[in-house]
Amino acid sequence: MSCSQTGIGLAGFGTVGSGVWKIIERNGGLIGSRSQGDVSLAIRKICVRDLSKKRDVDAPDELFTTDLMEVVNDPSVDIVVELIGGTDAAFDLVAAALRAKKPVVTGNKALLAERGAELFAISAEMETSIHFEAAVAGGIPIIKAVQESLIGNQIEDIVGIINGTSNYILMRMTEAGLGYPEALKEAKDLGYAEADETLDVNGWDAAHKAILLGSLAHGFLIDPTQVYVRGIEKVTPLDISFASDLGYVVKLLSFVRLRDNGAVEIRTQPSFISKTHILASVNGVFNAVAVKGDGLGDSLFYGRGAGQEPTASSAISDLAEAARSMRHADSNRGFLPYRTDGQLVPIDETETSYYVRFSVKDQPGVIAEIASLLAQHEIGISGTHSPVDADNPDAEFVEMVFLLHSCPFGKLKGALTKVEELDCLTARPVVFRIEKI
């Protein structure tokens, strides 16, 4: 069996775009064989910013343009691949492609998280699909797993390490005792962090991915402004050391959790998890996503969360699916929201145990003062930890750690507001959630 070639327009020919070219050149025949001749991909147009830039692939000059809309308007292009990033020009390109009834493949999680409502509305209106496997966790096929393999499951829990840059930085802070600035510089020197690392380290890269997973798992579009996000910029070697002493490691974790009342909890922040948990062993730039379904039970998806060919591999998977959807009306049509009544759990109502570190004056009664205020807010203490500094046993100031029983986050915030008024404190308390996953 054979079929006519499906023309591909690439908007962006950087790391991932050139990876797509390489895989199609190397494995085009394999793709056709595995699809029983149903899919044959050919790149017809490539948009770049600079035509004179040297590249590590030998693509014909006549394929290149600097005009994004040529990728959409070229009659030989059937599917548009958006790999330029950002949310403005990318939105215009994707919207134009959909209105031209050309399916879109994108790795742009920020675009979909921030402006997905508009794009999915156009997708539904034009009956033209958007595919975005490459937007979440690089080469890990988590989108298809949630959307297709687990279609018969109520997905109760998704917990993920889904930003490799932050994961690498935290690993180096843990293993080598580096400070955050030193670990970030190392990540940049190795090419694991971008020149502008902001979205990676402030939590929003991971949060955008969690928002997409939440929409897929629970069927409604999620407003990013309602999602709680904290990054790793303020994580210190001191807290990482305390975590280790207590049997934990610090990871930037993203959560999508279904409550009994149908509301969904979505948040991203650095958290403590037990050293014995499987996610604690996910290091370097690797990603992992733990999924719990009511039928499947627990499952783990693990692999490279970034890089040229892992991410390009996901884009190729979407290209093959999009090509099939053009030939078979009943095949995958991409994601479309299927409910409008979804609700997010307010962050103040989310509950975990907590690690709270207080910088205090070394004077009698400090523990009692703090414990009294916590008790007034009905927050229980499971333990305290205040190691003696052997190099400075007569220090005027000390670090005091309280491990707190599970309570709503809003209740903890209220209690800490009162604690901060105590004269014995020398800095704002440092809080980490202790996750039981």
142-304: in CATH 2.60.40.10: no
In 3D space, the residue among 389, 397, 401 whose CA is nearest the CA of residue 357 turns out to be 401
Residue type, 98: L
Distance CA 75, CA 73 (A): 6
The whole-number pLDDT of residue 258 equals: 97
Query: How far, in Å, are 290, 307, 318, 388, 437 from residue 300 at the CA level?
Result: 4, 20, 22, 40, 13
From 102, 109, 144, 209, the catalytic residue? 209
Contact of 360 with 424, CB cutoff 8 Å: yes
Per-residue pLDDT of the chain (437 residues; tens, 9 = 90+): 456 789 999 999 988 899 999 999 999 888 888 877 778 899 999 999 999 888 888 899 999 999 999 999 999 999 999 999 889 999 999 999 999 999 999 989 999 999 999 999 999 999 999 999 888 887 788 988 998 889 999 999 999 999 999 999 999 999 999 999 999 999 999 888 877 899 899 999 999 999 999 999 999 999 999 999 999 999 999 999 999 999 999 999 999 999 999 999 999 999 999 999 999 999 999 999 999 999 999 999 998 877 777 888 889 988 988 888 787 665 555 677 788 889 999 999 999 999 999 999 988 899 999 999 999 999 999 999 876 565 666 677 899 999 999 999 999 999 999 999 999 999 999 999 999 98
Task: Indicate the pTM of the whole model.
Answer: 0.88
Distance CA 29, CA 387 (A): 63
Instruction: Delimit the domains of the chain by residue range.
Output: 6-138+308-327, 142-304, 349-434
| φ, ψ (nearest 5 deg) of residue 435 | -90, 135
Q: Which residues of 140-179 are buried (b: 16+ CB within 10 A; e: fewer)?
A: bbbbbbbbeebeebebbbbbbbbbbbbbbbbbbbbeeebe
Query: How far, in Å, are 5, 16, 276, 316, 429 from residue 23 at the CA level?
Result: 16, 11, 38, 8, 50
Distance CA 42, CA 51 (A): 21
In 3D space, the residue among 30, 47, 402, 433 whose CA is nearest the CA of residue 268 turns out to be 433
Q: Which CATH architecture has domain 349-434?
A: 2-Layer Sandwich (3.30)
Residue 209 a catalytic site member? yes
The hierarchical CATH code for the domain 6-138+308-327 is 3.40.50.720
